[in-house]
Amino acid sequence: MSKFLKLAASTVLAVSFLAACGGNDDAPEENVVDDAATETIGDGDVELVFWEFGNTGYDKLIEEYVAENPHVSINLQNSDMNDLHDNLFTSISAGSGAPDITMIEEAQIERYRNAEHAFTNLFDHGAEAVRDNYLDWVFQNGENADGDFLFGLPTDIGPTVMFYRTDVFEEAGFESSPEAVSELVATWDDFEKVAEEIKDKTGKLMTDAGELIYNARRDQATQQYFNTDDELIMTEHNQIKDGFEYVANLLDKGLVGDIPLWTPEWFSGMGEGTYATMLAPAWMQGVIKDNSPEPGVWSLTTMPEGAGNWGGSYLAVPAESEQAEEAYKFIEWLTAPEQQLKAFLDYGLFPSAPAVYDMPEFLEYEDAYFGGIATAQIFSEAAQQVVPVYKGRLYYPVDDEMKEALDNVAAGADVSQEWDSALQRIERIIGR
């Protein structure tokens, strides 16, 4: 499974982090990533154990680093994203078995905020000096609520855009250039109107899954489910409810589908052109290419009313590492703009370092599959529009309840009743 699918397949840790951090005398002392693919690069005296998930291409960059720093060797261990987070959870709860460096997916970092003692504060190793290397909202997401503790340095991000089928837009009588489509669907009201015209003229859906539209509206919200005290605030503002009701309305009108993501039907729709758009992050490019091989049919442009972020990672140093200084030096190097450019060009990891957006190799990057347009510039514009928002350690289970409510609406349930039922289920989750 690629990194891209793993980012979308996140699951919730079953036990609260505070309880687990109480310790476990029976926990294993050895490294817990037993099923990881392991590769030791270099033969230096200082060995750093590095846990990663997905297809990052970091092995190539590590070769470059150890060539410049021959006293260092890096034991790279690659595993499934969920396995990595579960194993990290287990090891830091036990106080043993954690690596020197670990990747943490951007939403999963919320689960570790109550365990600062289990991580190295990267500010103690000079991270404040590289703050300006990264987009403000990305760096802030790696800090604690008080801003005096830094869990990790950011790697890639997932700015969201609107992928669209040029042939479907043209069949409906619209111009299909990115500029024309961006102007056509500048607002969410525009999006609904265009959906109605596409359905009327082509019989096709605006998008395959209402979930993706809900994700977009949720990720554009300046407040989501929780405040920084982890108190539920969904009923104190209208942004989440407005997004929920917007999607419910499109479902009721039959303008969008309710096809579960990552299913064969969902994948086949990309190639068959059964829907016009997909609101998704930068890493979805690879998924589209794998499942709709004909070039020049799909294109992309900005989303209505801004952008959000879905995915991305941080590199953290667990507190038990005896090589924290060397570990920090490596992750500072790996996440620097120069290395982020290489990761983008070689593996499509979209940079969190805005200096990359002005580099000639980035500006000149064009993707023939998407009609030869400068895709990198569109994604960088989206990345710079993202507004940071606190998610909370129960983000995933709450989000799952909202998706269940939308599924029920698609099956014919009453919208108001489903909203109220979702709130009741969420209150029970919080009260556990």
Q: What is the pLDDT of residue 31?
A: 45
Q: What is the pLDDT of residues 217-272, one digit of tens each?
A: 999 999 999 998 889 999 999 999 999 999 999 999 999 998 888 899 998 988 89
End-to-end Cα spacing for the chain: 33
Give the CB-side neighbour count of residue 417, counting CA atoms within 13 A: 5
Q: Residue 34: which pLDDT band, with cuts at 50, 70 and 90? A: low
Average pLDDT in the chain: 89
- What is the torsional sign of CA 165, 166, 170, 173? positive
Contact 193, 174 (CB under 8 A): no
Q: Are 222 and 288 in contact (CB under 8 A)?
A: no
The SS3 of residue 311 is strand
Six token digits for residue 402: 């909202």
Q: What angle do CA 303, 225, 307 make, to 5 degrees?
A: 15
CB 151 within 8 A of CB 316: yes
Q: Answer whether 208's CB lies under 8 Å from 254's CB.
A: no
Query: Minimal CA–CA distance to 239: which of 146, 190, 306, 162?
Result: 306
- Cα angle, residue 36 at apex, residues 35 and 41 outer, rounded to 5°: 145
Res 387: pLDDT: 84
Q: pLDDT grade, residue 420 (50/70/90)?
A: very high
- Give the integer Cα–Cα distance in Å for 87 and 52: 12
What's the average model confidence in pLDDT over 188-212? 96
pLDDT value, residue 35: 62
**124-142 per-residue burial string, b: 16 or more CB within 10 A, e: under 16:** ebebeebeebbbebbbebb
Give this prediction's pTM.
0.81
Nearest Cα to Cα of residue 304 among 196, 219, 189, 177 = 189
The amino acid at 429? I
